[in-house]
Chains A and B, each alone.
Chain A
């Protein structure tokens, strides 16, 4: 691990990679746009609104999981610089989830407030989906450097909301499918692995920390005797 840490890309490379990633994250949207306008024979199929809705939602979930994968990946590879891309990935998650909601509210419900509020109040899978979107807003808003600095430790606490958001998102997906739960189950398994890794690390830290603390204390105690 120590060796790979030396492979730190320079600031120019990071910047170039960021531009590349930015464009890469737009590919799903670009493909949808081509399909919407039936470019090059692409199409959204017989039920375009449903297709658009599902694809945007799935990309929102994909980006949530990709964002959550950054920390474990960074730990496992030792590539600490990966964290430099996390904010962009998180903002893209918000972006696709927001588009997913706008497609639902605008195209599917045609901004009819009554039916939308009824859906949110009465259909649990929509309730939790909208909750996930609402919880994403403060994370997106506080993603700037100045706010990060100003909030300090509280920023970290606030951004742990992503764990809750991802669980709500996958749950929303699971609850929405008619009967075949294979795909949402795969998402749930990936999410469980990503969150489980964190829990495992946290526990390891706690146990390790205690040991370390005890030995320090005992050394100190010995000295004082």
Chain B
């Protein structure tokens, strides 16, 4: 079968997105008064459609979610990206002027090919795949997102990690001038995250550069972000500028901020509640006001693929 002619699940809904966009623009014009009150989204709302971002050349990837993806609008305006503010609409509001190019990533630690790599160095050699993944936030909401990316393993192998490498640590850009959220010490900046080498090398783990076949919007973590679909969303570090291979388990931002609430592993697990709320169920974004929450699945439904990584691990103590 010719892959390029295959209809991808998310293409079926693209019509509604353009429809949504049109009605959004019309409504934005109609409710200019309400907008002026600062209650709704700002004028930069104009132009928030997939067509406003360059198209990427992609091939269909494995692991379809088997569910309809969320709208472009939902995925790009409801974000946790504290570097741009802590409200869900803040990243969309505050990230529009962010400069995601030129970009470079510093690779260091236990590997044979450390150095500074440009965005083009990083992405160039890889075939970009469309991968529709479930996304589960630690706040008990979820989405289905058609990412564009390539396996992180393929990238990490190029840096030739040595036998001492047990973990991979990541760092987000620290630039308060561009990232207004970093002007307040909500988290300790820069944001840092980490994975075991086995997790990083897992074929599900994705280095993401796009969304809906388009270049990644700034508010979603441009130009390079991690997606680890069986873990809570905060493990998916955004706007990555450093990758370090380490011997020991790296520190991670949310674990530093609240160690009793956020662990290093942060695997999606309906049986281990957050101290302040239940993780048994999740609210699917895009559902209506009267729709019920849906049950959360162990490892976000990717048990078959990843449970073997954790056979010797007590998931209750290693939350």
Interface on A for B, CB 8 Å cutoff? 31, 36, 40-50, 52, 107-108, 110, 115, 118-119, 123-125, 175-176, 178-180, 182
Q: Are B257 and A179 in contact (CB under 8 A)?
A: yes
Q: Are B289 and A41 in contact (CB under 8 A)?
A: no
Q: How large is the interface on B (under 10, 10 to 19, 20 to 34, 35 or more residues)?
A: 35 or more
Report the separation of the CA atoms of residues A36 and B290 in the bound assembly, to the nearest whole angstrom: 11
- B39 cross-chain contacts in A, Cβ below 8 A: 31
Kindly state whether residue B40 has any CB partner on chain A within 8 Å: yes
Report the separation of the CA atoms of residues A179 and B276 in the bound assembly, to the nearest whole angstrom: 12
Q: Are B276 and A50 in contact (CB under 8 A)?
A: no
* Chain B minimum-CB-distance residue to A180: B86
Report the separation of the CA atoms of residues A49 and B31 in the bound assembly, to the nearest whole angstrom: 22
Q: Are A182 and B283 in contact (CB under 8 A)?
A: no
Kindly state whether residue B6 has any CB partner on chain A within 8 Å: no
Within 8 A of A (CB), among B19-65: 23-24, 26-28, 30-31, 34, 39-40
Pick from A41, A45, A50, A179: contact of B283, CB under 8 Å: A50
Report the separation of the CA atoms of residues A2 and B169 in the bound assembly, to the nearest whole angstrom: 69
Q: Kindly list the 7 A-B residue pairs having the minimum CB-CB distance in the complex, ordered from nearest.
A: A41-B27, A46-B78, A180-B86, A41-B31, A46-B74, A180-B186, A46-B285
Q: Residue-by-residue, is B63-96 near A (CB-CB < 8 Å gives 1, otherwise 0)?
A: 0000000000110011000100010110000000
Q: Are B31 and A40 in contact (CB under 8 A)?
A: yes
- B27 cross-chain contacts in A, Cβ below 8 A: 40-41
- B139 cross-chain contacts in A, Cβ below 8 A: 178
Pick from B26, B88, B187, B289: contact of A179, CB under 8 Å: B187
Given A110-B292, A179-B187, A179-B258, residue A41 in contact with residue B141 (CB < 8 A): no
Within 8 A of A (CB), among B138-153: 139, 141
Q: Are B292 and A41 in contact (CB under 8 A)?
A: no
Count CB-based A-B contacts (< 8 Å): 68
Q: Are A48 and B88 in contact (CB under 8 A)?
A: no
> What are 7 sample pairs from A and B whose C-beta atoms fall under 8 A apart?
A40-B31, A41-B23, A44-B289, A47-B88, A52-B289, A179-B186, A180-B184
* Chain B minimum-CB-distance residue to A115: B278
| Given contact pairs A41-B28, A46-B286, A179-B82, a sample of 12 additional A-B residue pairs in the complex whose CB atoms are under 8 Å apart | A36-B289, A40-B27, A41-B23, A44-B289, A46-B74, A46-B88, A107-B290, A115-B278, A124-B276, A179-B187, A179-B257, A182-B184
Kindly state whether residue B310 has any CB partner on chain A within 8 Å: no
Report the separation of the CA atoms of residues A45 and B74 in the bound assembly, to the nearest whole angstrom: 8
* Chain A minimum-CB-distance residue to B85: A180
* Chain A minimum-CB-distance residue to B281: A115
- CB of A178, distance to nearest CB on chain B (Å): 7
Q: Residue-by-residue, is B249-289 near A (CB-CB < 8 Å gives 1, otherwise 0)?
A: 00000000110000000000000000011100001011011
Report the separation of the CA atoms of residues A29 and B110 in the bound assembly, to the nearest whole angstrom: 58
* Chain A minimum-CB-distance residue to B40: A42
Interface on B for A, CB 8 Å cutoff? 23-24, 26-28, 30-31, 34, 39-40, 73-74, 77-78, 82, 86, 88-89, 139, 141, 184, 186-187, 257-258, 276-278, 283, 285-286, 288-290, 292-293
Pick from B77, B86, B187, B276: contact of A46, CB under 8 Å: B77
Q: Are B283 and A49 in contact (CB under 8 A)?
A: yes
Pick from A41, A108, A124, A179: contact of B34, CB under 8 Å: A41
- CB of B212, distance to nearest CB on chain A (Å): 16
Q: Are A125 and B88 in contact (CB under 8 A)?
A: no
Pick from A41, A45, A47, A175: contact of B26, CB under 8 Å: A41
Report the separation of the CA atoms of residues A41 and B89 in the bound assembly, to the nearest whole angstrom: 17
- B288 cross-chain contacts in A, Cβ below 8 A: 48
- B30 cross-chain contacts in A, Cβ below 8 A: 40-41
Report the separation of the CA atoms of residues A79 and B35 in the bound assembly, to the nearest whole angstrom: 36
- CB of B215, distance to nearest CB on chain A (Å): 21
* Chain B minimum-CB-distance residue to A38: B27
Pick from B186, B289, B292: contact of A48, CB under 8 Å: B289
Report the separation of the CA atoms of residues A185 and B41 in the bound assembly, to the nearest whole angstrom: 25
* Chain B minimum-CB-distance residue to A182: B184
- A115 cross-chain contacts in B, Cβ below 8 A: 278
- CB of A184, distance to nearest CB on chain B (Å): 12
Q: Are B277 and A123 in contact (CB under 8 A)?
A: yes
- B88 cross-chain contacts in A, Cβ below 8 A: 45-47
Q: Are A107 and B141 in contact (CB under 8 A)?
A: no
- CB of A165, distance to nearest CB on chain B (Å): 21
- A43 cross-chain contacts in B, Cβ below 8 A: 40
* Chain B minimum-CB-distance residue to A34: B34
- CB of B25, distance to nearest CB on chain A (Å): 10
Report the separation of the CA atoms of residues A118 and B186 in the bound assembly, to the nearest whole angstrom: 30
Report the separation of the CA atoms of residues A41 and B32 in the bound assembly, to the nearest whole angstrom: 10
Q: Are A42 and B78 in contact (CB under 8 A)?
A: no
- CB of B285, distance to nearest CB on chain A (Å): 5
Given A41-B28, A47-B78, A178-B139, residue A123 in contact with residue B276 (CB < 8 A): yes
Report the separation of the CA atoms of residues A108 and B141 in the bound assembly, to the nearest whole angstrom: 12
- CB of A24, distance to nearest CB on chain B (Å): 15
- CB of A114, distance to nearest CB on chain B (Å): 12
